[in-house]
Chains A and B, each alone.
Chain A
Amino acid sequence: DARVTQTPRDKVTEMGQEVTMRCQPILGHNTVFWYRQTMKQGLELLAYFRNRAPLDDSGMPKDRFSAEMPDATLATLKIQPSEPRDSAVYFCASGSPSGVEQFFGPGTRLTVL
């Protein structure tokens, strides 16, 4: 059963520290999405990639967030420096070349103290 994987599952850090979240999309999927979920804002799209190229990162605060796909099996989302308002669950989702369905990873729960 192919699934999107994310690490770490939980991260507690102090304000000002760097945070890196990783995502492994389903093998063969060429589109990767990063979402942030909070009670207040719901599911927000931060950035997405197709064939490793960034398509849209307008949902990301550019001064502190960055997203990359170093290879087809790894996507990363980095926050530097982290702030308490970044506390949220961050989901990665992947999509296949032939379809529009998106499949979500288990998420990374980030707490910034």
Chain B
Amino acid sequence: GENVEQHPSTLSVQEGDSAVIKCTYSDSASNYFPWYKQELGKRPQLIIDIRSNVGEKKDQRIAVTLNKTAKHFSLHITETQPEDSAVYFCAASDRGSTLGRLYFGRGTQLTVWP
């Protein structure tokens, strides 16, 4: 099955700086890559996703890039704010064969210092 690896496991940045979280996947058939944000004690929430037919997607301060050849994708957060502090999870899916199953990375604890 699919194997998703995520790095780093922890990341600390100063408010206003950028943060980058990287994930790799193993199954070249994967075609959907979401990112979830989980605040302490809360549910994981979908914040952005990308499909394999595009290389980059932006939504205000967050962006995701995808390199299908290298089988890696990244989350970029610019102008970080303390409220960005959370655990971020990447995931991969091949909807066709796995009927929507997501394979998750282990998560990155992001801390933004004011």
Contact = CB atoms under 8 A, between A and B. Distances in A.
Contacts, number: 44
A33 B102 CA distance: 10
What is the size category of the interface that chain A forms with chain B? Answer: 10 to 19
B99 A50 contact: yes
A103 B46 contact: yes
Given A100-B34, A101-B49, A104-B43, 20 more contacts: A31-B99, A31-B100, A33-B101, A33-B102, A43-B44, A43-B104, A43-B107, A45-B102, A48-B99, A48-B100, A55-B99, A56-B101, A100-B95, A101-B34, A102-B34, A102-B46, A102-B102, A105-B43, A106-B43, A107-B43
B53 to A, nearest CB: 13
A95 to B, nearest CB: 5
What is the size category of the interface that chain B forms with chain A? Answer: 10 to 19
Interface string B8-51: 00000000000000000000000010101000001111100100
Given A103-B46, A106-B43, A45 B107 contact: no
24 contacts: A31-B99, A31-B100, A33-B101, A42-B104, A42-B106, A42-B107, A43-B44, A43-B107, A45-B102, A48-B101, A55-B99, A56-B101, A91-B43, A91-B44, A100-B93, A100-B100, A101-B34, A101-B46, A102-B100, A104-B36, A104-B44, A104-B45, A106-B42, A107-B43
Nearest to A56: B101
A100 B89 CA distance: 16
Which 7 A/B pairs are nearest by Cβ-Cβ distance?
A: A104-B43, A100-B95, A43-B104, A42-B106, A100-B32, A95-B100, A104-B44
